Amino acid sequence: MLQKNNIIIDNMSSLEEIKKRKMEQYLQESTNAQASPEQQMAQATNEIDARARKILSVEAWQRIANIKTVKPDFALQVEMFLVQMYQSGQLSVPVDENTLVTILDKLTTKKETKITRR
């Protein structure tokens, strides 16, 4: 009977160890999942950049890189727009610089100011 009890005790201690390891693993995964919003945003931005690079010609990619230095948010918006258009089949690959300029013109809203004198 002692042997059976020892086996049961050994099984119980191994179950506790397994539970402990699983709990540590779960905590580590949840910590990694909640690593930081900045890291998640950087990863998403890198993924969009990689997809946009495949879509654009070299000249068009250089234009987007120039835009990124001045307006990074707008450049990301343009890249996301291009990826969405490509995925929906509305865009042929590679996108040349002239096509990109046309798309940029459509995306930028030009504010017109009217001055009236009395």
Q: What 3 state SS string does the chain have?
A: CHHHHHHHHHHHHHHHHHHHHHHHHHHHHHHHHCCCHHHHHHHHHHHHHHHHHHHECHHHHHHHHHHHHHCHHHHHHHHHHHHHHHHCCCCCCCECHHHHHHHHHHHCCCCCCCCCCC
48 and 97 both lie in a single domain: yes
First to last CA, the chain: 108
Domain that holds residue 1: 1-34
Neighbouring C-beta atoms of residue 53, cutoff 10 Å: 14
Asked if residue 60 and residue 74 are part of one domain, the reply reads yes
pLDDT of residue 17: 73
- The model's pLDDT over 43-100, given as tens digits with 9 standing for 90+, comes to 888 888 888 888 889 999 999 999 999 998 888 888 888 888 888 888 888 888 998 8
Q: Which of 8-17, 19-28, 40-49, 70-79 has the highest mean pLDDT?
A: 70-79
Query: The CATH number of the domain where 79 resides is what?
Result: 1.10.8.140
Q: Is the pLDDT reported for residue 15 higher than 60?
A: yes
Report if residue 43 sits inside a domain: yes
Q: Into how many domains does the chain fold?
A: 2
